[in-house]
Structure 1
Amino acid sequence: MKVTIVETNPYPAKIGQYLDLTVQVENVGRERAEDVEIEIVPEYPFTLDSEENAVQNVGALAPEKFASKEFHLFVDKNAQKGVRTIDIRTRIDKSSPWSEKTFDIRIGTETFDSKGTVELAEIVSSPEVFMPGDRGTVTVTLKNTATTPTVTIDGSDYDTNARIQVAVLRPLSEEVIVLDAPYEEMGLLGPGDSIRLTFNVMVSEDANEGTHNLELAIEGNSFDYNSRKNIPLEVDSSNVKVIPSKPLKLVNGEATLEFDVANTHPNELNSVSIKPEAEGVNFYPAEYFIGPMDSDELFTIEFDAIADPASENIGGNSEPINLSLSASYSNGINKHENLVSNLRIQPVEENEGGSSGLLATGILIVALVAGGVLIYRRRQQKNR
């Protein structure tokens, strides 16, 4: 089990107030865990709202699946500002031993006289548009908007450095999960300086299409310079479409099948390949590799289809053959596959100059020869 604190609210924790911890556990093994439990072991200055809530049951967890639980803690009113630790334990069932991990929890913020202001300069998502179930990153660029080293306010001089004490990305719905802990003590940003922060995120498999908003909370020089920024994340399930571009016919056991492949997703997809399958039919190439495809790009591909002589399903049979096409591709680091399975290949037997044609040709030749003999004999009679 991999355990992570995915959200601390508020962050940093406030002295004399309640703190909500969202703890995520993920099954990174190869076997199903049948009865997963999470236990939080708080020490001063943290206390649980109720000792009965120290252990929470997650239940069964399949490989590569995750679940989260929320714990409510109180921060003692006499706590000091700084970083404190808390232990979180997990086990796969009641007969297994606990596995423990220690996490840092920040309490309170410092106040500085610097007057630099941190602003959100850029947001980059990778992939640009997520599909349900995708993992990726959100990278934000923070910039100190000051233009001079110092500023004078009410007759006093202040430096314009900006401090980023804490930066945390929080999802505003359960359909998006942030996998990283908050950034802490990022140091000073001088006038005009910038810094990039990257957060790993995951979209749930049942996420709705559209824009999902996340919140970037920044603790700056002081309370007056704290800010919250909206971070949009786009989710779209559109994918690679494969459409026949001419009739699917197998003439005398052979055909050249043509398909249009279209990327209907809003951003580029990589490693696009198409693989056909039909019982009793061999395809060349066995798989067509296209590579990267831009959004709305259309690519036309061809397969040579040849009936397998040993197949009992084709020889002398005019019944349609079931054809399936699988389209595999990557959206960022995520592998996807679509299956088109409602296609039919119609076998057709055609006479290519067969017995009837040969018979007609033979009659014509015989007629011409007979006519020639007749003309030759008549000429001989005249010459006599």
Structure 2
Amino acid sequence: MRKFSLLAILLLFSIFICLGAGTALGASNGNINSSSLQVNMTKQNPDTARPGEPVELTVSVQNVGTKDLKDITVKVNPEYPFTGISGQSLEKSISYLNARQDDNEGGVLKFKLMTDAGASAGTYDIDIVTTYKSGSGSSSTTYTTRKTITLEVRGKEYAQIVTIDKANIDIAKEETLEFIVTNTGTSPLKNMVISWKDPEGVVLPVYSDNTKYIKYLDAGESVKIVYAVMADVNAEPGLYTLDINMVLEDYESNENTINTTAGVFVGGETDFDVSFSESDEGEVSLSVANVGNNIAYSVKVSVPKQENYKVSGSSSTIVGNLEKGDYTIASFDVLSTQGAEASQESGSRIPGTAKAGVEEENLTAASVQNKPLKVQIEYTDAKGERITVDKEVELELSGGSMPAQAEGPGKRGGISSYLPYIAVILLAGGALVYRRKIQEKIQLMKNKKSGNKNPGEQKTDIKTLRD
């Protein structure tokens, strides 16, 4: 009987030990180091956090112990790349939890965090701190537990056209158009397809289509895409839109499309052909033609200061607008300074003579030979920018000299240039006066003859006339 009683006692003791061990084992196998409270993250929305976007955490709080709990406080302590959101509390409370709760019982709390925009793909830890009270009155005990959960961050897949190296495309001229594509996200991109289109059909690719492929582009890296393009010869100068389309693939092989636009200016500078047209009485006429593909506004033609030539009067003239293919004539009074240079080099200039008196010299074939005239053309292009073009013109004069226009007393090209004409006029006037005197004498002789004068008088008159 005693043996049976001792055996029964041992069995009962073993049962209590096993039950205690089972309770302790159940608590040790939980998600939090607590003998009576389990805290678990049951849901994350979205499943992987994305940089620059919020993420919502759903946390379950379950009392699996044998005692009721009260004043439960759950607090989330975020670390980089997570931060709190304004207006969203990171600490929430549950007033009471019954003992021995099932899986579908307990409290459910939700927390919102913001993911940093520059976060890289990976996993990050967050601590959840829980405080609660067990017991009642003066015998109640406050417990604090800490649980670490892991959040996954998915990198941001995004690319953009950072720069276009050439924003100006000349008309009817082959140009290179370069796009610099940068992965501004935090995850690698692969199998990217870049294409563009001008809705008006003015700018078109040449030698290839408008599509380029990028096999792989790591986060933060850039790649240059080069196109050969040309603008329509009949295009109106102005700003045109390029619609750019980028299709990219993330590490989960999901396709994303990014659409953007860029502007390019069609039309640019032009060119001119300047040639000697003619010379007349001291004027040099130049033919100025717009040989480029763009219109030139407010064209101004000038003869700048230079060694071999000098302009008498205005050195500039405004000829207005020149369409492509148009031309105009600009005239200037040009003199040669070659004689002055020769005089100064030999030191033969007459002392006391004004320098201006020897600086000007009529243009001759010898004085312009191998001495091109420098001409400057200023114009405004279609973008409103003022452009200057320098040209040189060979003056082709025949033998002899080109008379210079009068500039006032004491200068070459003044009244002395008219001396040949004055001499001709004087000779013509003298001849006219002489002829009139002859006619008067003949008339006088006729009058005497009709008056029956004696032969001696007639002979005398004829002799006089001969004299």
TM-score by length of 1: 0.36
Report 1 or 2 for greater relative contact order, CA contacts < 8 Å, sequence distance ≥ 6. Answer: 1
Q: Which has the higher strand share?
A: 1
Q: Which has the higher helix share?
A: 2
TM-score by length of 2: 0.30
| Max Rg structure | 2
